[in-house]
Chain A
Amino acid sequence: QLVQSGAEVKKPGASVNISCKSSGYMFNAYYMHWVRQAPGQGLEWMAWVNPHAGGTKYGERFKGRISVTRDRSISTVYMELKNLRSDDTAVYFCARYRTPDGFDMWGQGTLVTVSA
């Protein structure tokens, strides 16, 4: 399963760091992605990390503001989003990518609220 850290409230311009802890499977074997969902809106892909080698890919909209890292020793992936704006208010999900099929396991979601 994937267990994410708890809800956050941040001011504009601040950063948020969300964790996603994996258990029950081989952590290194599956890329981990981050997807967000603004209130009442659809799903938006953000980034992925290769837990084995540490390589990353970021969505164009987030480049320069996002960083995804992993700690193999505790099977945990982290997503940091900087310079938060009000339109970053969303539920953020981590999702395991099962090659070549899609996202077969999701975290429970972390609500990030950005408000002055």
Chain B
Amino acid sequence: DVQLTQSPSTLSASVGDRITITCRASQSIRNWLAWYQQKPGKPPTLLIYKASGLESGVPSRFSGGGSGTEFTLTISGLQPDDFATYYCHYYDAYYTFGQGTKLEIK
């Protein structure tokens, strides 16, 4: 099975910062990777699909990149609403989530 490892597990940042979260796959998954945002008590919401596709309605400060085994989620100019937990997700023959990255206010 494909394993996804996110780093860091926790990230402290300030409003206006640019941050990057990394997701590494245990084997090549081409670009079958999505990113989700989750706030406490809510279901996740899709941000990025196929590694770099921006979901409709998601602000352009969110961007995704990478292919194969290494992927990134970048938020340029953090807003107060962005402090949440982020998950990467492999979806193809299998469906695997990373362990999550909690983005906290510094």
Contacts and interface: CB of A to CB of B under 8 A. Distances in A.
A101 B50 contact: yes
Residue among A93, A98, A102 facing the most chain B CB atoms (10 A cut-off): A102
A23 to B, nearest CB: 16
Contacts, number: 56
Interface stretch (B21-29, B38-46, B65-73): B38-46
B87 A102 contact: no
A97 B32 CA distance: 13
Interface residues of B, number: 23
Interface of B is mostly: strand
Interface string A76-116: 00000000000000000101011011111011110000000
A103 B48 CA distance: 10
A101 B44 contact: no
A86 to B, nearest CB: 21
Contact of B49 (A35, A42, A101): A101
Complex A-B, nearest 3 residue pairs according to Cβ-Cβ distance, in ascending order: A106-B43, A102-B34, A101-B49
Interface of B: 1, 32, 34, 36, 38, 43-46, 49-50, 53, 55, 87, 89, 91, 94-100
